Amino acid sequence: MSTEILTSPLHSMGRATRTLCLRWSMHVLVAEDDGSVAAALVSALGRAGHTCTRVARGSDVLLRHRDAQALLLDLGLEDRDGLDVLRDLREVSQIPVIVVTARGDERSTVRALSLGADDYLVKPVRLHELLARLVAVTRRYNPPAEPTRLETAALSIDVDARRVRIADREVGLTPNEFGIVVSLARRAGTVVSRAVILDEVWGDAYAASSRSFDVHLGQVRQKLPELTITTVRGFGYRLEDAV
């Protein structure tokens, strides 16, 4: 893999592009298996005012994506093909993704975009173009602010205080139990995939915590018998928003 990933230094960028990048700073997850390429990307992004976390494995992308505002994804990672990682990531997250890869064939490009990549750049990339596209895809992604109080027909949750009330009584929940209830209550009446709940509560949709999830969900059902949590086989769970 060529280490000549960047074809223009930061000082050669247009003034408007450089000013925009410095004003629009973000934390970027850089998924790249080649250490020298990753170092070049991290250095360039740092000079443009961004902070970075570098990973080399697809499993780490799925662990660390919630800490970042954008992802630069190589397709040749140490443990998995980047396209497979992208498919799994899109099951749980809409984080902006720019594929930065040596694969310039049309098939890879089309597949990456169809799996949910926001942009696709072939190495070597022009620095000013990479930075401008990074800002552009991030601007398009505006996740709504999460409410700090949740109400269903039977349930009241104060997210900041981590308090749950049901039928005029307060219920003590462990952190993981609380996370499961919040994840379901945010989408009451709709099906939430198992992968999404695992990602939000444990930070990894494909972790070995899957069995732990079953135990914690059972405890939630025991502690909150007034709630109806319907299992949708092969997909996930729905908190029924009815008395």
Domain assignment present for 5: no
Q: Is the CB of residue 23 less than 8 Å from the CB of residue 132?
A: no
Domain that holds residue 116: 10-140
For the stretch 82-127, pLDDT in tens is 999 999 999 988 899 999 999 999 999 999 999 999 999 999 988 8
What is residue 243's predicted lDDT score, i.e. its pLDDT?
A: 45
Q: Can you give the CATH number for the domain in which 115 is found? A: 3.40.50.2300
CA-to-CA separations, 17 to 23, 39, 187, in angstroms, rounded: 10, 22, 39
The reply to whether 59 and 130 lie within a common domain is yes
The reply to whether 129 and 154 lie within a common domain is no
The reply to whether 57 and 118 lie within a common domain is yes
Count of domains for the chain: 2
Q: How far apart, in whole angstroms, are the C-alpha atoms of residue 205 and residue 195?
A: 5
The reply to whether 25 and 127 lie within a common domain is yes
**Quick check: 69 pLDDT over 70?**
yes
What is residue 205's predicted lDDT score, i.e. its pLDDT?
A: 67
**Quick check: 9 pLDDT over 60?**
no
Domain assignment present for 2: no
Q: Pick the residue with more confidence: 16 or 29?
A: 29
What is residue 11's predicted lDDT score, i.e. its pLDDT?
A: 44
- Of the pLDDT bands very low, low, confident and very high (cuts 50, 70, 90), residue 12 is very low
- How many other C-beta atoms can be found within 10 angstroms of the C-beta atom of residue 198? 22
